Amino acid sequence: MRYTDALLAVFLYNPLIPLDPLQHRAEILPDGSIVLPGELAKPIQQPMVEKTIVDTPIGLWTETEQEEETIAKALKAGQLSAYRAAINVVAESKEQYALSARDFGSVIRNSKGIFQNGGRVTWAFLTQPVWIVAKNKTPKQYNRGTLFVVDTVRFGGTFAALFAALFLTLNYQSFWAIVGSQIRPIQAAQNTSALVSSMDEILRENVLKSPSLAVAGRMAGDLLSFLPDVGPPDNRIIIAKLNLNIPLVTPSYQNLLSENWTGVEEDIQDALQHGVVHYPGTARPGQAGNFFVTGHSSYYPWAPGKYKNVFARLHELDVGDEYWVYYGGDKHRYIVRDKQEVKPSNVRVLDQPLDKRLATLMTCTPVGTTLRRLIITSEEIDPITGMPLDVGEKGSHGGQKLNVEQLPI
């Protein structure tokens, strides 16, 4: 086939190539658009441009409201996260407790077997027979348990005996004061009744020895019968039931005012060598408050002072008992209202009420120890009538009013 015939065949059988020679030509229109062959017969359609009106959304919320909504969403998300975390913690804790319970049960079961086995071994050891051979004695058979008990009793008894001997030796003065009043009740009663008038006897002797006083008078035949009741020259506390007539010492207030508590304690310990101590800073007899007195129930035998066991029998005072205090030449009468034991750290016993006239006696108990404190609380009463005294009220002392003309010449 010739080349021309082949080319003609391609044009004849190819549908993309038009047979009309004019149809393969493109044409440019006046508006600049290009029209392909075959589209010249088609009407030119102008593209329709649709105008889309876009409505601009109008904001319904302000920025503050949007921020609040954002915060609320964050809080909600945080709460949800916290709730999930709490659920996880609870679930994990529950699982851990369950595992611990199972482990504990396993330990208990194992321990039971261990204790049973150990008990059997111990019992076999304690019941093992042992022969004791002593010189010139028949051998005796014991078991290990019996020997252990015997040795324990021997050691414990020896230790207890040594401790008791040492304890009694260190506190023999206090215990002798307690036991002596029990084995000699008649002598104790005589001493008590003599003690009540001991101060009057001392005053009578001092007055009679004075050369400046007349010896003429009525009744007793001297001036003493005309003198009013007076107290001792120093401060004292008299407890007739316990046969006690003790000096009452008031330490210096210097360390108390400077808040030197170590110095206050040293002052009290020094004052206890000379009697019982009126605690610094507490009320005086006759004042509103708490007149606080402390003394030794026992102390080291080698320590200085002769009042180391002055309050050894203080526990014998009961509610309703009385004692007297001479302070500044005045006589004050007290009756016991309460008795108790407190811890050494209890400082409420030093409280100072403003509407009562109280007194407190304190010492260590049991005798020979400092484990607790014995507290005897008393109320001041009238020396003559026995009625409680109000704050600021002066008690009657029963003194007689005498004219100067009635005194002997």
**Domain layout of the chain by residue ranges:** 74-126, 131-170, 185-381
Residues 6+ apart with CB under 8 A from 177: 309, 312, 313
Mean pLDDT of 187-198: 52
pLDDT of residue 181: 67
pLDDT of residue 124: 83
Confidence of residue 171 (pLDDT cuts 50, 70, 90): confident
**Residue bearing the bigger pLDDT, 358 or 77:** 358
Quote the mean pLDDT of the chain: 76
**38 vs 16: CA distance, rounded Å:** 11
Which of the residue ranges 45-59, 126-140, 356-370 has the most confident prediction, judged by mean pLDDT?
356-370
Whether omega before 366 lies within 30 degrees of 0, making that bond cis, reads yes
Partners of 323 in the beta sheet? 334
pLDDT of residue 186: 57
pLDDT higher than 70, residue 319: yes
**328 vs 235: CA distance, rounded Å:** 6
**Residue bearing the bigger pLDDT, 406 or 213:** 406
Percentage of the residues of the chain whose pLDDT score is greater than 70: 69
Exposure of 181 in the CB half-sphere (CA atoms within 13 A) = 17
Mean pLDDT of 331-354: 93
Find, among 237, 303, 246, the residue nearest to 269 by Cα.
303
* Range of weakest confidence among 126-130, 214-218, 309-313, 396-400: 214-218
**What tokens were used for 149?**
């008990």
pLDDT higher than 80, residue 370: yes
Mean pLDDT of 256-277: 92
Full DSSP string of 216-252: --STTTSGGGGSPP---SS-EEEEGGGTEEEEEE---
Mean pLDDT of 383-398: 78
Phi-psi group of 300: left, alpha or beta (phi > 0 → left; psi -120 to 50 → alpha; rest → beta): beta
Q: Which amino acid is at 348?
A: R
pLDDT higher than 80, residue 205: no
pLDDT of residue 276: 95
CATH topology of domain 185-381: Sortase; Chain: A; (2.40.260)
What tens digit of pLDDT does each residue of 69-97 get? 777 777 777 777 888 888 888 888 888 88
The model's pTM: 0.57
Residue owning tokens 């206090």: 174
pLDDT of residue 273: 92
Partners of 381 in the beta sheet? 333, 388
**What tokens were used for 368?**
């020979």
Q: Which amino acid is at 288?
A: A
* CA distances for 200 relative to 167, 196, 203, 228, 304, angstroms: 40, 8, 5, 11, 30
**12 vs 6: CA distance, rounded Å:** 10
Residues 6+ apart with CB under 8 A from 298: 170, 171, 173, 174, 308, 309, 312, 364, 367, 368
Contact between residue 258 and residue 273 where contact means Cβ atoms under 8 Å apart:
no
pLDDT of residue 207: 46
Q: Which amino acid is at 339?
A: K
pLDDT of residue 168: 80
Contact between residue 310 and residue 293 where contact means Cβ atoms under 8 Å apart:
no
pLDDT higher than 80, residue 314: yes
Confidence of residue 25 (pLDDT cuts 50, 70, 90): low
Alpha helices in 127-184 (DSSP H): 144-170, 172-183
Contact between residue 280 and residue 251 where contact means Cβ atoms under 8 Å apart:
yes
Find, among 215, 235, 236, 237, the residue nearest to 224 by Cα.
215
Helix, coil or strand: residue 409: coil
Q: Which amino acid is at 1?
A: M
Contact between residue 278 and residue 287 where contact means Cβ atoms under 8 Å apart:
no
DSSP 8-state symbol, 211: T
**Residue bearing the bigger pLDDT, 258 or 189:** 258
- Regarding beta strands 330-342 and 372-381, do their DSSP bridges make them parallel or antiparallel, or are they unpaired? antiparallel
**65 vs 50: CA distance, rounded Å:** 38
